[in-house]
Amino acid sequence: MDDNLPDKAFFRIGEVGKILQVKPYVIRFWETEFKILKPVRTPSGHRLYRKKDVDALLLIRKLLYERRYTIQGAKQHLAEAARQKTDREADTNHERLVEIKKVLVGILDLIDGRNQTRQNG
């Protein structure tokens, strides 16, 4: 979502807070409300956020602060977006399977054609 993120695998909560311009306690609260947020924990219990977590947090921040969604409204928006993504992926997969089937049927036709040529020849 944000191409301006530093090129690193993990971010500490303080770094994420600076990126989002919110206090760390806000991020911890959002974790309790939005199940899509699952930071990795170090052995000492510190949170480490991946880029996908930061992207999700940026979207949550946008929904809450810019679009003025309620927490519940933002949850519903994210759930609907996830459903639409799943539907698009299912459609894409179906199209791929149809194309694969066409190729396989073509191969079978070629094999059958060669078998008939050998039998007739």
Quote the DSSP letter at residue 8. Answer: -
In the predicted model, residues of the chain with pLDDT beneath 50 are none
The verdict on residue 32 lying in a domain is yes
Specify if 13 maps to a domain. Answer: yes
Residue 101 lies in a domain: no
pLDDT, tens digit (0-9, with 9 covering 90-100), for 71-105: 999 999 999 988 888 878 877 888 888 899 999 99
pLDDT at 60: 98
Q: What is the C-alpha radius of gyration for the chain, rounded to an integer number of angstroms?
A: 24
Decide if 28 is inside a domain: yes
Query: In this structure, what CATH number is given to the domain that contains residue 8?
Result: 1.10.1660.10
Q: What is the pLDDT of residue 110?
A: 87
- Whether 103 is in a domain gets the answer no
Phi, psi of 48 (to 5 degrees): -125, 125
pLDDT at residue number 82? 85
Asked if residue 49 belongs to a domain, the reply is: yes
| Residue that the structure tokens 């994420």 belong to | 16
What is the structure's pLDDT at 92? 86
**0.85 exceeded by the pTM?**
no
Q: Is the dihedral of CA 23, 25, 29, 31 positive or negative?
A: positive
Domain enclosing residue 44, as ranges:
1-68
How many domains is the chain partitioned into structurally? 1
pLDDT of amino acid 93: 85
Query: Among 62, 63, 38, which residue's Cα sits nearest to residue 52?
Result: 38
* 18 inside domain: yes
Tell me, yes or no, whether 107 lies in a domain: no
